[in-house]
Amino acid sequence: MKCETCGNDYDKAFEITLGDGTRHVFDCFACAIHALAPSCAHCGVKIIGHGVEAPGTFYCCAHCARHHGHDQLKDRVETGNDGRTPTAVFSH
Ligand SMILES: [Zn+2]
Ligand SMILES: [Zn+2]
């Protein structure tokens, strides 16, 4: 199968099926991340873990989301944390 990011024809390529049924083929995770991972709307980094999601927009952390006025988004942190922890997950 051929990687749709770099075009490498690799026998161990793998397929990723998205939630909407769209199928993608990649030869490595780096290519998959490049093609599929959303970018933080504030700082532009690829979000490869749990990000923070506002309607139609992704952020790498609540800190970035707050820069765009999404004050209601919070990292999942223990009570009393100031929210500046670098590890961010979004609780639906
Ligand atoms: Zn590739
Ligand atoms: Zn960010």
* Residues linked to residue 24 through DSSP beta bridges, in sequence order: 16
Residue with the two structure tokens 């009570």 = 79
Ligand number with the minimum distance to the CA of 9: 1
- Which class for 24: exposed (0-12), middle (13-18), buried (19 or more C-beta within 10 A)? middle
Degrees, nearest 5: CA angle 75-62-76: 5
**pLDDT level of residue 77 (50, 70, 90 thresholds):** low
Report the percent of the chain where pLDDT is more than 70: 82
> Is 84 a residue whose pLDDT tops 70?
no
Q: Starting from the CA of residue 45, give the closest ligand.
A: 2
Other CB atoms within a 10 A radius of the CB of residue 32 amount to 20
What Rg value do the Cα atoms of the chain yield, rounded? Answer: 16
For residue 58, which ligand has an atom nearest its CA?
2
Q: What is the pLDDT of residue 81?
A: 46
* pLDDT-derived band at 90, boundaries 50, 70, 90: low
20 or 74, which is more confident? 20
